[in-house]
Amino acid sequence: MEAKLYIPTSLSEITLEQYQYLMKISSPKDDEDTQARKMISVLCKIPLSAVVKIERNSILELIEKFNKMFENYEQTLIHRFKLGSKEFGFIPALENMSWGEYMDAEKYMSDWQTMNNAMAVLYRPIIKTKGERYSIEEYESSINYAEVMKAMPLSVAISANVFFWSLGMDLLDGTMSFLQEQMKEMTKEELTIIANELNLDKDGVGIHQFMQLQKEMLQSSMKSLNFPFIMHSHS
C-alpha cells in the first residue's frame, strides 16, 4: 500500500459530504467488490482507478478497519463541535423546539442527500456559553448553514440521527400507550368518528393498526439510515 494513502481512523475523520457522496454513487445492485472499491475510493480520497492498484491483503485490511468504524459508531449525542473557528451546538432543549424546526428536521433527515439540511436545523452557531450550558442562534432556515454542515464530522451527524429517531420512537410509543388507554373508555360512536376521520375500519382495531403502521414507518426510516457498506472480508 502506498505510504501516502490517507486512511481515516474514526468516523470523526470522515465528513458528512464524503458519506453523502458514497451513498449517491452506490447502488443496491453493487456486489461486495464494487462496494469495497467505492468505499475505499471515497474514504481514502483516491480515484477508483487507483484502488485496483492496492494489494489485495491491504484491501482486506481496509475493509475490516472500515467495518469496525461503522459498527462501533457513536450512539451518545455529541452536543458541540467546531468547524474552523466557529462552534456549533445542538438545540439545547429539544422539547422546546418549534413545530417548524421539527418538521424541517424530520423531512430532511429521511434522506442522506439532504442530511446536511437536517443538521443545519439541529446544530447552529453557539452565541453564548456559561459553563456546560450554551445558547444558539435563532432558527430562520436550514439554508443558512446547509452548505457548511457538509464539512461536519460524520460521527456528529450519526449521533444526532440516533438521538432524534430514538426520541421520535419514544414519543410515538407514549402516544400509542395513551391512545390505547383512551380507547378503552370510548364508545363505539366515538371510535367510529375517529376511524372515519383517518379513513380506517370503524373500530378500535383499525385505529390500533394505524398507530402500529406509523411506528413501522418510523422504524423503516431509521433502518434506511443504516450503513449498507459493512461487508465480510473473504480470505
> What pLDDT, on the 0 to 100 scale, is given for residue 128?
94
Enclosing domain of residue 192:
164-223
Which residue numbers in the chain have pLDDT < 50? 1-3, 174-175, 202-205, 222-225, 228-235
pLDDT per residue as tens digits for the range 77-97: 999 999 989 999 999 987 777
> What pLDDT, on the 0 to 100 scale, is given for residue 131?
87
> What pLDDT, on the 0 to 100 scale, is given for residue 205?
47
Paired with 123 in beta bridges are: 90
With b for 16 or more beta-carbon neighbours within 10 A and e for fewer, the 195-231 pattern comes to: beeeebeeebebbbebbeeeeeebeeebeebebebeb
Residue 126 sits in the same domain as residue 170: no
In a domain, 3, yes or no: no
In a domain, 17, yes or no: yes
Residue 60 sits in the same domain as residue 89: no
Residue 116 sits in the same domain as residue 142: yes
Residue 21 sits in the same domain as residue 40: yes
In a domain, 233, yes or no: no
Residue 139 sits in the same domain as residue 187: no
| 10 neighbors 78 (Cβ within 8 angstroms) | no
> What pLDDT, on the 0 to 100 scale, is given for residue 230?
43
In a domain, 199, yes or no: yes
pTM of the shown model:
0.74
Q: How many domains does the chain have?
A: 3
> What pLDDT, on the 0 to 100 scale, is given for residue 31?
87
Residue 16 sits in the same domain as residue 64: yes
> What pLDDT, on the 0 to 100 scale, is given for residue 88?
97
Residue 96 sits in the same domain as residue 147: yes
Domain end position, chosen among 155, 179, 202 = 155
Contacts for 228 with CB less than 8 Å, ≥ 6 apart: 26, 28, 35
In a domain, 234, yes or no: no
In a domain, 196, yes or no: yes
> What pLDDT, on the 0 to 100 scale, is given for residue 188?
63
In a domain, 232, yes or no: no
Residue 84 sits in the same domain as residue 136: yes
Residue 49 sits in the same domain as residue 26: yes
Residue 19 sits in the same domain as residue 39: yes
Q: How many CB atoms lie within 10 A of CB 98?
A: 11
Residue 172 sits in the same domain as residue 145: no
Q: How far, rounded to the nearest angstrom, does the alpha carbon of residue 115 sit from its chain's CA centroid?
A: 7
In a domain, 178, yes or no: yes
